[in-house]
Amino acid sequence: MNLPLSASGTELLRIDGAVRLDHLGVMRAQGADAASFLHSQLTQDFKVLGLSQARLAAYLSPKGRMLASFVAFRRPRVGDEDESVWLVTDRSTLPASLKRLCMFVLRSKARLSDAGDALSVVGLAGSAADGLLESAGSAPWSKLDRGDASVVRLPQGNGQSRALWVGPAAQSQDLLASLAPISSSLWSWLEVRSGVARIQAETVDQFVPQMLNYELVGGVDFQKGCYPGQEIVARSQYRGTLKRRSFLVHGDEAMTPGQEVFWQNDPAQPCGIVAASAANPQGGFDAVAELKLAALDGATLHLGSPGGPILQLLDLPYAVPRDAAAA
C-alpha cells in the first residue's frame, strides 16, 4: 500500500470500496411545485437545478441556525409521474425537519415524505466512486442517473474520490455485493477529512451555515430569493459579523458531535464545538470543529474542558478566511 504524506503530515491511505450508510435517510419531495417549494425553504436555488447536478443545502430556523443539512437533487420524470427531488440527510434530523417543512407546504403542489423504507444510501470511495460516475463531471456535486438510482460526487476526503449512491433498497444489495467492502468508520473518517460536516441531532440549532464553511463548499446561494434565516446569513456574509469558522483538528481521545472545545487563553468559556468526528485509521481521532477565529492565534486548544486533551489543528482541503472582517 502506497502511503505518501499529505500537507498535514498524515499518510494518504488508498481506500476503495462501498458501505451502506444506515445513518442517512432520504426525504422525497414530489409534485409540480416540489422544486419551487424547496427553493423557498432551503439555502439553495432549486428552480434552476439541472439533472446533472446536486446541491448541498441547509434548512434554517428564523434565527439562521441550521436545523438540518441535505444533499439534494432532481430525479428525471418517468411517464406521467410527478416531478421529484430527493434529499439525503442524517436520520436523526429527518423526522423533525420533515414535520417542520410539511407545516409550510400550505397550497403548494408538493408532497413531502420519508422515503427511507424504499431507498437506500451507499457510500462509494476511490475507484468505486469514479467507476460509477463514469462521464459525470469531476467537480463536487455533479450527479449521474443510473436507472432507478442516482450517484452524486462528493468533495474528496483525504485526497480520495467519494460519492453517494441513492436508489431502491433491493438494488443496493447487488451493488454492495459487486464492490469491495469498506467500514462505516473509514467512511466517517473520509467525511471528516473532506471538511464538510452534516447536521446531526447533537448539533441542531448550533451553527449558521458560514460557521460550518457551507458557503465555501457550495452550500449557500446568495443570489436566490428569501428563505427562513436568509437575513441572518446575508448579514454575516456582507457585514463582516462572522467570528467563527470550522477547522480540522486531531487529538488522542475520542471526540463526539456537540462536545465543547476550550482555548488556553480564555479558559472560562468554550471557544468552539465539535461538529463531526471519526477515528483516524493511523491513530487518534480527527474532527471538524467550529472555533472562534481568535482561538487560532497561539495557545492550545483542549477537548471538553480547559485541562482536557490537547487538539492539533490540521489543514483543510479548501481555504478558509481567518479575518472576521473578510468572512
What would the mean pLDDT of 142-167 be, rounded to a whole number? 96
* Residue ranges covered by each domain of the chain: 17-194, 201-318
Model confidence over 44-68: pLDDT tens digits?
A: 999 999 999 999 999 999 999 999 9
The angle at the Cα of 215, spanning 236 to 142, to the nearest 5 degrees, equals 165
Between residues 295 and 79, which one has the greater pLDDT? Answer: 295
Q: 195: closest CA among 277, 316, 284, 312? A: 316
Question: What pLDDT score does 11 carry?
Answer: 62
Distance from C-alpha of 201 to C-alpha of 62, rounded to nearest angstrom: 18
pLDDT for 327 beyond 60: no
How many Cβ atoms from other residues are within 10 Å of residue 150's Cβ? 22
243 by Cβ neighbours in 10 Å (0-12 / 13-18 / 19+) ranks as middle
290 alpha-carbon distance from chain centroid: 14
Distance from C-alpha of 157 to C-alpha of 7, rounded to nearest angstrom: 13
Over pLDDT 70: what percentage of the chain?
94
Contact assessment for residue 186 and residue 174, using Cβ atoms and an 8 Å cutoff: no
Contact assessment for residue 131 and residue 162, using Cβ atoms and an 8 Å cutoff: no
Q: 35: closest CA among 224, 169, 230? A: 224
Over pLDDT 90: what percentage of the chain?
84
Output the pTM of the full model.
0.93
Which class is 201-318 in CATH? mainly beta
Contact assessment for residue 275 and residue 259, using Cβ atoms and an 8 Å cutoff: no
Assigned superfamily of 17-194: Probable tRNA modification gtpase trme; domain 1 (3.30.1360.120)
- Residue 227: all three cell numbers together: 428563505
pLDDT for 4 beyond 50: no
